[in-house]
Amino acid sequence: MFSLAVDAMGGDGGPDVVVAGLALAADRHRGARVLLIGDEKRLRPILARHPKAAAICTVRHAPTAISMDMKPTAALRVRDSSLRMVMDAVAAGEAAGVVSAGNSGAMLALAKIVVKTLPGIARPAMAAISPSMKGDVVMLDLGANVACDTRNLVEFAVMGEAFAKAVLGLPAPSIGLLNVGAEEVKGDERLRQAAEMLRDSPLASQFHGFVEGHDITAGTTDVVVTDGFTGNVALKTGEGAMKMASGLFRQVFTSSMAGRLAYLLVRPALMRMKDWLDPRRYNGAVFVGLNGVVVKSHGGTDAQGFASAVDVAMDMVTHQFNDSIRERLAHMTTLTTSRPKMEAERQAAL
Amino acid sequence: MFSLAVDAMGGDGGPDVVVAGLALAADRHRGARVLLIGDEKRLRPILARHPKAAAICTVRHAPTAISMDMKPTAALRVRDSSLRMVMDAVAAGEAAGVVSAGNSGAMLALAKIVVKTLPGIARPAMAAISPSMKGDVVMLDLGANVACDTRNLVEFAVMGEAFAKAVLGLPAPSIGLLNVGAEEVKGDERLRQAAEMLRDSPLASQFHGFVEGHDITAGTTDVVVTDGFTGNVALKTGEGAMKMASGLFRQVFTSSMAGRLAYLLVRPALMRMKDWLDPRRYNGAVFVGLNGVVVKSHGGTDAQGFASAVDVAMDMVTHQFNDSIRERLAHMTTLTTSRPKMEAERQAAL
């Protein structure tokens, strides 16, 4: 069995970036076996230039590729695309997970139909890691579901907790539910019900309650749960603010002779900071809640970014991410099904 | 008539901060006349220390004050609080606007009931100015309405545009609707309908379409329209990210001898940047869509921050903010009412 099926054709950089990324990843995951799917003619010469990647890869030819702007519905109709074939490999039990830098919408649609949703989960979500002042934070949903109900949010909490365990290696990650205030009365009914369910669940001791926007970078909790609309806006707003801050600091160091001198003095510290914030380090959004590990690399990333996405996928495969979700869900189901029963008993007792 | 009725008792700093803030504002708004409402015994000695504030203020005694943690429903029952009395002054036509650093929930509830919603507006919204790489941006709703429908969003666009004209002095502010992608098909029905209505409205030439989270700090549009849940999360997430960035840069300058030396070199540039990002410069969230100008100063601000909130209120009073909304709404109503008529005519023609 292959550890991962990798789509060689996705992303702006195509197979060159993917294979170079696999060469970097090969050093970090010695036991990994990769099924590399794409245009064989294009792949062979690239692999010849990257012997480390070639050593861990088995190539499978895919006649077509899904373009970055193809609509998900159209992508579903193409049976012989590299993206479809990596999903098929997971569905057939040939590989434990998928990595692609391709079209996200097509990827989610194919994953749902081919890899399928984990039993007990209503809807998969998109999760990723982002930096905070207290260490890395897992955020989900980042856009797979524009609208979410109470059940979705509770399931996102379960999946986010398992993700933080597998990828951040935390023994008991804390969970926050994103809201407009920390008080119990804040937000809508959907959020208040989700909070109540989590307080009554096996995750109760890890559930911190409501958190606010500024708690994401403050690192108040290890996992931040929200709907796909809010999560997508929050992620991009935070990235935008960090970009503005970097631009302002660049000005400080470039707008005067004194600034350029100061830059020379603090260059090593600035480089360390830049590395820490490097978006490539946080590359690899994960579709959680599927019958397999499905990792989306940013389309515009380079080899190092792609290797980070492979790291995330390997961590999830190694730590049997889905087993940990299944186990939690078993307990949660007992809880949710026992509730109406208790309610019925209470009614009968009156 | 008074330009503003000011609640002397709101905010963590109470009357000391409010009066010191008015003293600063007095220099910038020579013609302003302020009705200062609060505990007269406490106010007299403070005003004696701030002759500039005393020169523009008329004091009115209020026997009670609304605490920062009082529930809105409880605050509504107190008839003689300073917060209630500033609202009464606007409702009675004694003052054109209100400034308070008090309890926001109580403020919105009192404003809705006493000052009342502008005719033609379904729900007031909370707007504020935030920094971007291309200049200041108006964002709304920031939390007055957790859930919003199409009509609310369209009205927020109308009010945000008027706000950007009055406070930022822009002749034709551009408007963006916050979404998870820029493409027309993104988001939910509510957002797509709001976009369609704006494209068919007198604001069409200023409507940019959908914007994403990172467009806020990029300054893609002058006005960013969203529901109160998303707006509140986005605002706080952006603030959190900027705070994390500042903390990281502080480390660069303090973690080594070279860093401390570099700091001395770039100190003036850093100070300019700090001034530019100063949250006090952006103090003064505004409840738009009311029969009067209602400005909320941050509870924890200092005199300079309170003076900024007074600046915002004075700008809105001077530029007859509400007249500009009324004018727009007149055109929008023609549009929205003529649509079903056209639809009926089309049906009849079949």
Nearest CA in chain A to B232: A180
- Please check whether residues B147 and B239 belong to one and the same domain: yes
Note whether B269 and A251 are within 8 A (CB): yes
Q: How far is CA A343 from CA A168, A332, A339, A340, B277, in A?
A: 39, 17, 6, 5, 54
Residue indicated by tokens 């004091």:
B59
**Chain B nearest-CA residue for A187:** B146
Query: Does B243 reach chain A within 8 Å, measured CB to CB?
Result: yes
Indicate the DSSP class of residue A292: S
pLDDT exceeds 70 at position B341: no
**Which pLDDT band, with edges at 50, 70 and 90, does A197 fall under?**
very high
Give residue A38's pLDDT: 97
> How far does the CA of residue B41 sit from the closest CA of chain A (Å)?
35
Are both B17 and B65 inside the same structural domain? yes
Least confident of A328-337, B270-279, B314-323, B333-342: B333-342
What are the two backbone dihedrals, phi and then psi, of residue B167, each rounded to the nearest 5 degrees?
-95, -35
Is the pLDDT confidence value at B179 over 90? yes
Q: Touching check for B271 and chain A: CB below 8 Å? A: no
Instruction: Give the dihedral sign, CA A10/A278/B244/B308.
Output: negative
Cβ burial B47-84 (10 Å sphere, 16+ → b, else e): beebebbbebbebbebeebbebebebeebbebeebbbb
* C-alpha to C-alpha distance for A266 and A99, rounded to whole angstroms: 38
Distance between CA atoms of residues B32 and A345, nearest Å: 67
A270 touches chain B (CB under 8 A): yes
Amino acid B112: pLDDT: 95
Tokens of B52: 């500039």
Evaluate if residue A86 carries a pLDDT over 90: yes
Q: Of the segments A66-75, B50-59, B323-332, which one has the largest average pLDDT value?
A: B50-59
- DSSP 8-state class, residue A279: G
Residues A34 and A163 in one domain: no
| Count of other CB atoms within 10 angstroms of residue B274 | 11
State the average pLDDT over residues A211-224.
97
Same domain, B94 and B214: no
Residue A340, pLDDT score:
43
Task: Tell me: do A104 and A14 sit in the same domain.
Answer: yes
Identify the pLDDT of residue A346.
41
Which residue in the set B188, B226, B256 is minimally distant from A147, CB to CB? B188
Mutation site for B-interface testing, chosen from A236, A239, A271, A275 by largest number of B Cβ within 10 Å = A236
Q: Mutation target for A interface from B142, B229, B243, B267: give the one with most A CBs within 10 A.
A: B229
What does the buried/exposed string (b/e) look like for A46-77 if buried means 16 or more CB atoms within 10 Å of the residue's CB? bbeebebbbebbebbebeebbebebebeebbe
Do B146 and B271 sit in the same domain of this protein?
Answer: yes
A233–B226 C-beta distance less than 8 A: yes
- Distance in Å, alpha carbon of A102 to nearest chain B alpha carbon: 17
> What value does the mean pLDDT of chain B take?
90
Of the candidates A212, A214, A248, the beta carbon closest to that of B273 is on: A248
Q: How far is A76 from chain B (nearest CA, A)?
A: 18
Beta bridge partners of A34: A4, A57
Q: What is the DSSP letter of A118?
A: P
ipTM surpasses 0.90: no
| CB distance A113 to A267 below 8 Å | no
CA of A204, closest CA in chain B: separation in Å? 24
Residues of chain A with pLDDT > 70, as a percent, come to 95
Domain of residue B163, CATH code: 3.40.718.10
Report d(CA A197, CA A328) in Å as an integer.
Answer: 14
Residue B337's pLDDT band, with cuts at 50, 70 and 90, is: very low
Q: Tell whether the model's pLDDT for residue B335 goes beyond 70.
A: no
Residue A180 is nearest to which of B232, B255, B256, comparing CB atoms?
B232
CB–CB of B266 and A252 under 8 A?
yes
DSSP string, A65-112: ---TT--HHHHHH-TTBHHHHHHHHHHTTSEEEEEE-S-HHHHHHHII
What's the gap between Cα A105 and its chain centre? Answer: 14
In a domain, A346, yes or no: no
pLDDT of residue B331: 76
A304 shares contact with chain B (CB less than 8 Å): no
How far apart are alpha carbons B192 and B326 in whole angstroms?
A: 25
Q: Give a yes or no: residue A125 inside a domain.
A: no
Residues B106, B135, single domain; the answer is no
Q: Tell me: pLDDT of A337 over 60.
A: no
DSSP for residue A10 = -
B338 in a structural domain: no
Reduce the secondary structure of chain B to three states and give it as a string: CEEEEEECCCCCCHHHHHHHHHHHHHHHCCCCCEEEEECHHHHHHHHHHCHHHHHHEEEEECCECCCCCCCHHHHHHCCCEHHHHHHHHHHCCCEEEEEECCCHHHHHHHHHHHHCECCCCCCCEEEEEECCCCCCEEEECCCCCCCCCHHHHHHHHHHHHHHHHHHHCCCCCCEEEECCCCCCCCCCHHHHHHHHHHHCCCCHHHEEEEECHHHHHHCCCCEEECCHHHHHHHHHHHHHHHHHHHHHHHHHHHCCHHHHHHHHHHHHHHHHHHHHHCHHHHCCEEEECECCEEEECCCCCCHHHHHHHHHHHHHHHHCCHHHHHHHHHHHHHHHHHHHHHHHHHHHHHC
**More confident site: A41 or B250:** A41
A254 CB near a chain B CB, below 8 Å? no
For residues A136 and A267, membership in a common domain is answered with yes
* pLDDT for the residue A333: 59
What domain range includes position B36?
1-116+290-319
Residue B333 banded pLDDT, cuts 50, 70, 90: low
Local structure of residue A50 (DSSP, 8 states): -
Does residue B123 lie in a domain region? no
The answer to whether position B152 is within a domain reads yes
Candidate from A235, A244, A265 with C-beta closest to B213: A235
* Residue in B133, B238, B247 closest to A247 by CB: B133
Q: Is residue A106 located within the same domain as residue A134?
A: no
Rounded to the nearest integer, the mean pLDDT of chain A is 90
User: Min CA distance, A27 vs chain B (Å)?
Assistant: 31
A146 and B187 Cβ atoms separated by less than 8 Å: yes
Torsion of CA B90, B93, B96, B97, to 10 degrees: 0
Question: pLDDT per residue over B82-139, tens digit each?
Answer: 999 999 999 999 999 999 999 989 999 999 999 999 988 999 999 999 999 999 999 9
Flag if A269 and B246 touch (Cβ within 8 Å).
no
Q: Say yes or no: B253 contacts chain A, CB-CB below 8 A.
A: yes
- Same domain for B148 and B81, yes or no, is no
Q: Is B73 an 8 Å CB contact of chain A?
A: no
Contacting A residues, span 171-230, partner chain B, CB-CB under 8 Å: 178, 180, 187-188, 212-218, 226, 228-230
Closest Cα of chain A to B114: distance in Å?
A: 24
Residues B12 and B57 in one domain: yes
- Domain membership flag for residue A348: no
Among B187, B252, B270, the residue with its CB nearest the CB of A269 is B252
Mutation to test the A interface, candidates B180, B186, B275, B298, most A Cβ within 10 Å: B180
Among A176-185, A320-329, B113-122, B263-272, the minimum mean pLDDT is found in A320-329
What percentage of chain A exceeds 90 in pLDDT? Answer: 71
In this prediction, residues B153-172 reach a mean pLDDT of 93
Report CB contact under 8 Å: A251, B269. yes
Mutate to test the interface with A, among B224, B237, B243 (most CBs of A within 10 A): B237
If pLDDT is split at 50, 70 and 90, which confidence band does B348 have?
A: very low
A63: closest CA of chain B, how far (Å): 29
Tell me which chain A residues have a C-beta less than 8 angstroms from the C-beta of B277.
Answer: 248
**Whether the predicted pLDDT of A281 surpasses 80:** no
Mean pLDDT of B184-210: 93
Specify whether B18 is located in the same domain as B92: yes
Q: What is the pLDDT of residues B77-86, one digit of tens each?
A: 999 999 999 9
Q: For residue B94, is it within any domain? A: yes
Structural domain count, chain B? 2
Interface mutation target, options A71, A177, A243, A265, chain B, most CBs of B under 10 Å: A265
Residue A111 lies in a domain: yes
State the pLDDT at residue A139: 97
On the question of pLDDT at A31 being above 50, the answer is yes
Please write the tens of the pLDDT for every residue from B296-306. Answer: 998 888 999 99
Tell me what pLDDT residue B343 has.
41
Alpha-carbon distance of A173 to A223, in angstroms, equals 7
Q: How far apart are CA B247 and CA A106, in angstroms?
A: 39
- Per the listing, tokens 């008839």 go with B79
Predicted local confidence at residue A335, as pLDDT: 45
Contacts of A238 in chain B (CB under 8 A): 213, 237-238, 240-241
Residue A284 banded pLDDT, cuts 50, 70, 90: confident
